[in-house]
Amino acid sequence: MKIQENCNYSNEQDKYTNEINQLIDKFIYFFKMKGMILEKSVRISSRIDSTVNLIGSHISIFKKYLKTNIPSKGVFMFQHCIRTQNLKNFYDYDKLNLWASYFPSLGVLCPLSKKKELFDFLFDFLEFINLNKEDIIINVTAKDQDLVDLLNTKKNQYIINYDTKNENYYRHKIGMDNIIGRNFNILIKNSNTGEFCDVGNYIILENNKKIIGIELALGASNIIKLTNGLEHVLDCFPTLEFNDLPKNVNYKLKDALIVSVFLYHENIKPNKKKGVSRVLYDYLKGIRTLQEKYKINIEDIRIAIEIFESIYIGNSISKSKDICQQIINYKAKK
The answer to whether residues 215 and 203 touch, using CB atoms and an 8 Å cutoff, is yes
Beta bridge partners of 102: 82
Which domains are present in the chain?
12-227 (3.30.930.10), 239-329 (no CATH)
In this prediction, residue 311 carries a pLDDT of 86
Strand partners, 181: 172, 205
pTM: 0.94
Assess contact for 218 and 24: CB atoms under 8 A: no
What is the structure's pLDDT at 2? 52
The burial of 26, by beta-carbon neighbours within 10 Å (0-12 exposed, 13-18 middle, 19 or more buried), is given as middle
Distance CA 176, CA 49 (A): 10
Lowest mean pLDDT among 243-247, 260-264, 279-283: 243-247
Instruction: Quickly list H helices, 4-144.
Output: 12-33, 59-67, 115-128
Q: Is the pLDDT of residue 215 over 80?
A: yes
pLDDT at 15 over 60: yes
pLDDT band for position 4 (cuts 50, 70, 90): low
> 8 has which bridge partners?
241
Q: Helix 247-264 crosses helix 298-312 at what angle (to 10 degrees)?
A: 60
- Confidence class for position 294, pLDDT limits 50, 70, 90: very high
182: CB partners within 8 A, 6+ apart = 144, 147, 170, 171, 172, 203, 204, 206
pLDDT at 17 over 70: yes
